[in-house]
Structure 1
Amino acid sequence: MAAAVASLIGLSGASSTVYFEDDFTKGMDKWTVGTMPGKEMGKWDVTPGKWFVDEEANKGLTITEDMRFYSITAPLDKPASSKGKDLVIQFSAKIENHQYAFCGGGYIKLLPAGTKAESFNGDDEYQIMFGPDLCGYDVSHVHLIFNHKGENLLKTDKISLEYSDKNEFTHLYTAHIKPDGTYEVFFDLESKAKGKIVEDWGFPKPEIDDPDDKKPSDWVDETMMDDPEDKKPEGYDDIPAQIPDPDATKPDDWDDEDDGEWEAPMVDNPDYKGEWSPKRIDNPAYKGEWKPKQIKNKDYEEGVQLAAYEGAMLGFELWIVNNGTIFDNILVTDDIEYAKAQGEKLWKPTQEGEKEVKEKWDKENKPDEPEGGEEDGEDFDEDEEPPEEEEEEKDEL
């Protein structure tokens, strides 16, 4: 297997352009830590985390403090272009201390030339934002956001994720942007979403609805109707919903003078058929779903490639509740096969060995937790108010 992977890397690497690659074996030598005016900044480090398979191989860019803002950038080794060629962005992330009472993100951004590394923040323009957005077990998804003429376009339908391991282990995220206007997103080297960019994001489309085309007043778009031949049965409304309980008897100690006239309690009437309504039949006047006619979109640029960028830098700009997120194996290239081969080589052996390592670490370091412990967020200081995370994310997007 190792030989096959090495062979694949060699074959694809010969024709690949690698714009950036970092496994953090040399620390943070490529990266510049930024600051945000008025924000309490967290400290970055390079560590393998609290538990690991290989101490050196698993070292990654690590968030070390709770409830902090983080900013860091690195120039690409070569300018990255998606104009007329493929663009692949890939990285791994392990979120050691994710608590399901809180939401958090782990996005990487492709940045244009001229971005100021020392002050990089959420107000800075980015070209692509990609990575996981974690919130509980069931609403985790991957963000892939494109910038178009100053507007950041979110995907119409989210790319949902299900973490069978409760997201404790290292996962690999891969975005493949193609010059023919299509895309594919992988999670742990498995395809999770693909299609046409123009259909799945809010880029200008070739045709749009004619704003002057209105639905005719006599247009019938109800597929079903009440059967005019169906009549309510005679006496239907005379059947009450409840009746006095026929099995009830007046208690022996009931006194009409003191307790009033005794009445049997009411029970559901077994003969009651509910509110009557006529049966439904196909509507013979149905004309189908009305849609306005299509006209040419003046904002659509014929022959112009969507999501075409000239990237110069990468950056993480985050608000983090819990420390312990580790980013690793960051890659920007024009070759999806090379990216997959690097994933097999660098990421897969790590995840395959993590379950056993984590179980051993838990036995040695975690006391028995009371019911409802960490996942309910009980170790969070309720007196410490986090910033308005939703507002921060909206500003970022």
Structure 2
Amino acid sequence: MKWIAPLLLVAFASATVFFQEEFNADWESRWVNSNWKSDGTQAKFRRSAGNWYVDAEKDQGLQTTEDYRFYGISSKFPAFTNQGKPLVVQYTVKMERNVDCGGGYIKILPDGFDQSTFGGETPYLVMFGPDICGSEKKTHLILSYKGKNFLNTKRFRCETDNLTHQYTAIIFPDNTYQFLIDNQEVSKGTLEEHWDILPKKEIKDPSAKKPDDWVDEPTLPDPEDKKPEGWDDIPELIPDPNASKPEDWEEKDGEWKAPMIPNPEYKGEWRPKMIPNPSYKGPWTAPTIPNPEYVAEPNLHALGTYGGVGIELWQVTSGIIFDNIIVTDSVEEAKAFSEKTFAHRLAGEPDAKKAYDEAEEAKRPKPQETEDEHDHDHEGREDL
């Protein structure tokens, strides 16, 4: 199929591609930088393939340019809903520098949002992608339902190396989801299971009480165990047998007594040994009952009317590159787009990075070369 423009609505059988972007040379005609920060803390993106790549042109993406800056940019597409059909969000991200704190996620925005003020306070329907800050390394898949954002309760891993990785989120019309990295499944399940969007189907019965005869002590004192005779006759402290009265001790000082020290024979307070309790029933928990506040939502997958893609970030470490974004209702279309835009990177980028690293290493002066140059300079100064 011939692609006329990245934002063209393309129908193929029952599949629709609502948005796709490869950031070719005219990308700025489709994207709008916001002005949500007016205090000089917001920076702009640039088109770049980074320091290493497989294809200098195909691997061009949108790169953050300055450290310690906010970023906000967006692109609109014709409004649609995913009522009764899948929603597939897929893109690639390369964290070319070692990120100590920065997001690599994108947002799917509702129809009618304001591109000029798009920023951290702009409502969104989906927020998806990796986020790294210190030891926190995870992938967000935040879903908005009735104006409230819900973070995935199951932790999703993310990639932390310097290579390009492809992130894919699929929400199916049966209210299940699938999350993939580099076309490999990372997680799947139901929206109810891994998001607290709806109240729980069952709750603990608030009226239930622990029975009076419930035994929750796992052990009890052995009734057959008896305290040994003479146990209580052993004192805790005894006079120090190695102590002696000082030579200068006088009768006016009173009767001399040796200082007390811990008795090595003292065993402490006697307690009977513990044995398993034959009446033990385990910890008591209230029985569950149907939650009267729970109402099934067959259309939980349909989050609203989608109208655009946005990238809104805070970057301590810049240099992250976004590329190859697709929003579609077809898993097959997303796979085909991946084969077109990402397969060559998955196969060739490790070698490209290795070659770059080796070239950079070759540029560094060798220790011997430095010493030779120093000796040469020293000899020159002697001649003077």
TM-score w.r.t. length of structure 2 = 0.75
Per-residue CA deviations over 1:331-370 (Å, capped at 9, x if unaligned) read 001111221232233112113212221122123235779x
The residue identity in structure 1 corresponding to 2:162 is E
Equivalent position of 1:110 in the other structure: 108
Identical counterparts, % of pairs: 34
The residue identity in structure 2 corresponding to 1:33 is N
Indicate if the aligned counterparts of 2:80 and 2:305 stay in contact, CA closer than 8 A. Answer: yes
1:68 paired to 2:63 = no
* Alpha-carbon distance in structure 2 between the residues aligned to 1:191 and 1:232: 62
Equivalent position of 2:146 in the other structure: 149
Per-residue CA deviations over 1:304-340 (Å, capped at 9, x if unaligned) read 4344322011101110111110000100011112212
Indicate if the aligned counterparts of 1:204 and 1:297 stay in contact, CA closer than 8 A. Answer: no
Alpha-carbon distance change, 302 to 154 in structure 1, aligned in 2, over 3 angstroms: closer
Equivalent position of 2:183 in the other structure: 189
Q: How does 1:354-393 map to 2 (within 5 A)?
A: 354-365=349-360
Indicate if the aligned counterparts of 2:175 and 2:299 stay in contact, CA closer than 8 A. Answer: no
Q: More deviation in 344-353 or 103-112?
A: 344-353
Equivalent position of 1:326 in the other structure: 321
Q: Which has the larger radius of gyration?
A: 2
1:36 paired to 2:36 = yes
Q: How does 1:346-361 map to 2 (within 5 A)?
A: 346-361=341-356
After TM superposition, give the deviation of residue 238 of structure 1 in Å: 10
SS of equivalent residue, structure 2 residue 149: strand
Alpha-carbon distance change, 302 to 152 in structure 1, aligned in 2, over 3 angstroms: closer
Indicate if the aligned counterparts of 1:221 and 1:290 stay in contact, CA closer than 8 A. Answer: no
Q: More deviation in 360-369 or 183-192?
A: 360-369
The residue identity in structure 1 corresponding to 2:203 is D
Alpha-carbon distance change, 299 to 115 in structure 1, aligned in 2, over 3 angstroms: farther
* Alpha-carbon distance in structure 1 between the residues aligned to 2:143 and 2:114: 20
Indicate if the aligned counterparts of 1:109 and 1:315 stay in contact, CA closer than 8 A. Answer: yes
Alpha-carbon distance change, 46 to 281 in structure 1, aligned in 2, over 3 angstroms: same
1:203 corresponds to which of 169, 179, 197: 197
2:308 corresponds to which of 305, 313, 317: 313
After TM superposition, give the deviation of residue 224 of structure 1 in Å: 2.3
After TM superposition, give the deviation of residue 227 of structure 1 in Å: 5.1
- In the alignment, structure 1 segments of 5+ residues that lack a partner are 1-11, 241-255, 258-265, 370-397
Q: How does 1:25-104 map to 2 (within 5 A)?
A: 25-26=24-25, 27-39=27-39, 40-76=41-77, 78-99=78-99, 102-104=100-102
- In the alignment, structure 2 segments of 5+ residues that lack a partner are 1-10, 236-245, 248-261, 366-384
After TM superposition, give the deviation of residue 71 of structure 1 in Å: 0.3
SS of equivalent residue, structure 2 residue 354: helix
After TM superposition, give the deviation of residue 283 of structure 1 in Å: 5.1
Alpha-carbon distance change, 312 to 288 in structure 1, aligned in 2, over 3 angstroms: same
Equivalent position of 2:23 in the other structure: 24
CA RMSD after TM alignment: 4.0
After TM superposition, give the deviation of residue 301 of structure 1 in Å: 4.9
Equivalent position of 2:340 in the other structure: 345
* Alpha-carbon distance in structure 1 between the residues aligned to 2:45 and 2:38: 18
Per-residue CA deviations over 1:18-53 (Å, capped at 9, x if unaligned) read 010011123332111112144411111111012211
Equivalent position of 2:121 in the other structure: 123
Alpha-carbon distance change, 283 to 346 in structure 1, aligned in 2, over 3 angstroms: farther
Q: More deviation in 127-136 or 198-207?
A: 198-207
TM-score w.r.t. length of structure 1 = 0.73
After TM superposition, give the deviation of residue 114 of structure 1 in Å: 1.6
